[in-house]
Amino acid sequence: MSYFRAENLSLHFGGLKAVDAVSFAVERGEILSIIGPNGAGKSSIFNLISRIYRPTSGRIFFEDQDITEQPPYDIARLGIARTFQNIELFENATVLSNLLVGRHRHSTTQLWQELLFLPSVRAGEKLHRRRVEQVIEFLDLEPYRDKLISGLPYGVRKVIELARALCSEPKLILLDEPSSGLNVEETDGMSFWIRDLKNDLGVTVLMVEHDMSLVNRVSDRVIALNYGRVLATGSPAEVQQHPDVVAAYLGA
């Protein structure tokens, strides 16, 4: 059984088939990239997995559990974290409190305990803080700890989104265009981090990406989509030479 799999996943908006009977599987510890032209349904698949959209049909399984009907907040609790294409950080909060929200799924304290800030809450906060510090160190975010998000440049925000997802200690991480808006140097950094995610932290990565050089460098396998359907699956080189993929990108 695969670690994560989608079976016949479909999302229809009226007559528009954004995602049409897509099936794929992710093995534990691999980096799988989804590529495809604009409007191919890549981000829609992410939004289906994180339950922002409800699938028209099809099922999603994670660790042999059917998560198709789980409420959105439970997806994170199961160990699936994500980043967003257009950055969804908490703008008026500091980097530190953004990252601490990433720890939310690990918080165990009750409201009344928090109102009194009992020792259990204090201990929990210190633990969260230590874990967050490990992520800060991992992604070199030390200079930004106490800065407000609204004053930070785009490239840094992108890394903070990744950091926030990592703070939840995910088993599977969904990266929605991690390199969009980044310059060549920042993209390089991102590719090292994505490989470190897999090698050092043992996180399984499912990624949507347009930058083929990044895809080639980090992916174990690639899925190509067009018009909501799977065109090809395989190693990065195989997929890029597949005639249907070439036709989709360059025109037949």
Partner 1 sequence: MRFLFKTDYEDDIKLFPHSGYFVSYGLLLAVLLIAPYVLSSYLMSQLVFVCIYATVGVALLILTGFTGQASLGHAAFLAIGAYTAAYLQKYGVPFPVYFLAAGLLTGLIGALVGFPALRLQGIYLVIATISFAFIVEEILARWESVTNGNEGMRIKAVALFGVTVSRDSPTFYFLCLALLVLTIVGTLNLLRSPTGRAFVAIRDSETAARSMGVNVALYKVKSFAISAAITGFAGVLFAHKLSFISPEMFTLQLSIEFIIVILIGGTFSLHGAVLGAIFIVMIDPFLTYLKDDMPGIIAGIAAMFGAGTQGAANIQSKVAAFASLNGLKGAIYGIIIVLFVLFEPLGLYGRWLKIKLFFQLFPLYKRATFKRQKIYVKSERNR
Q: Can you give the binding site for partner 1, defined by CB under 8 A?
A: 47, 50, 52, 71-77, 81-82, 84, 86-93, 96-97, 100-105, 107, 109, 111, 114-117, 121-122, 124-126, 129-130, 133, 153-154, 164, 168
Closer Cβ to partner 1, 114 or 186, answer by number: 114
Token pair for residue 100? Answer: 């601490």
Closer Cβ to partner 1, 158 or 221, answer by number: 158
Whole-angstrom distance, CA of residue 107 vs CA of residue 105: 6
Beta strands in 77-128 (DSSP E): 80-82
Closer Cβ to partner 1, 21 or 101, answer by number: 101
Report in angstroms how near the CB of residue 251 gets to partner 1 at its nearest: 29
Report in angstroms how near the CB of residue 162 gets to partner 1 at its nearest: 13
Report in angstroms how near the CB of residue 30 gets to partner 1 at its nearest: 22
Q: Degrees (nearest 5) of the Cα angle 202, 208, 211? A: 105
Q: Degrees (nearest 5) of the Cα angle 124, 79, 200? A: 85
Closer Cβ to partner 1, 76 or 182, answer by number: 76
Report in angstroms how near the CB of residue 61 gets to partner 1 at its nearest: 19
Closer Cβ to partner 1, 63 or 125, answer by number: 125
Q: Within 10 A of 137 (CB to CB), how many other CB atoms are there?
A: 10
Q: Which residues contact 193 (CB under 8 A, 6 or more apart)?
A: 138, 139, 159, 162
Angle between helices 154-167 and 119-138 (to 10 degrees): 130
Report in angstroms how near the CB of residue 126 gets to partner 1 at its nearest: 5
